[in-house]
């Protein structure tokens, strides 16, 4: 398996958009698959945020992204890990963990000190990867957990 940037394999955008739409469409009421595909076009630029990384082994296995903001009512928090998804038939093989770690490693190299995410149902998965719970809240009709990961070192004081 290798992890690559979506920029280097844009042919996977339509399948990825369909996976994400099927998995999280209820968190984006009124958004169509076509609108999701159009939004994901912004991930094909040369900027770090937003960007999406793909796990590939002969075919697409999963994804993870970094975005400026993933909750419209938490705009003061940034950046966010988002769209962590592994195809159903490849789950429980460590692919999701590798994707998350890949994005975190790149964020660290970019000088990012904290990242955020929200999840409706994967709190335990992220806690095993070192993420901490910030709050549990209702978001767009779903109960979610907002989490944080400190990835940069705090300034040492003398």
Give the pLDDT confidence score for residue 158 in this predicted structure.
41
Residue with tokens 């409706």: 120
CA 16 to chain centre: 12
pTM over 0.75: yes
> 10 Å Cβ neighbour count for 153?
8
Establish how many alpha carbons lie within 13 A of residue 59's alpha carbon, considering only the half-sphere containing its beta carbon.
Answer: 6
**Exposure string over 30-68, b if 16+ CB within 10 A, otherwise e:** eeeeeebbeebeebeeeeebbbbbbbbeeebbbbbbbbe
Per-residue pLDDT of the chain (158 residues), as tens digits, is: 999 999 999 999 999 999 999 888 877 777 889 988 988 888 898 889 999 999 999 899 999 999 999 998 999 999 999 999 999 999 999 999 999 999 999 999 999 999 999 999 999 999 999 999 999 999 988 899 999 999 976 543 44
Give the pLDDT confidence score for residue 156 in this predicted structure.
39
The runs of H, that is alpha helices, within the chain are 13-24, 33-40, 95-109, 123-128
Give the pLDDT confidence score for residue 104 in this predicted structure.
97
Give the pLDDT confidence score for residue 72 in this predicted structure.
87
- Domains of the chain, with CATH numbers? 2-111 (3.40.630.30)
């Amino acid at each position: 398996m290798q992890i690559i940037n979506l920029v280097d394999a844009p042919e996977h955008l339509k399948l990825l958009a369909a996976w994400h739409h099927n998995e999280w469409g209820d968190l984006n009421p009124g958004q169509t698959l076509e609108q999701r595909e159009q939004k994901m076009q912004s991930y094909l630029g040369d900027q770090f945020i937003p960007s999406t990384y793909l796990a590939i082994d002969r075919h697409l296995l999963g994804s993870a992204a970094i975005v400026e903001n993933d909750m419209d009512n938490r705009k003061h928090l940034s950046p966010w890990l988002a769209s962590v998804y592994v195809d159903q038939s490849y789950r429980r093989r460590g692919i999701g963990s590798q994707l998350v770690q890949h994005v975190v490693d790149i964020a660290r190299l970019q000088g990012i000190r904290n990242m955020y995410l929200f999840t409706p149902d994967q709190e335990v998965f992220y806690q095993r990867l070192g993420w901490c719970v910030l709050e549990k809240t209702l978001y767009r009709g779903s109960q979610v957990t907002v989490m944080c990961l400190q990835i940069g070192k705090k300034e040492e004081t003398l």
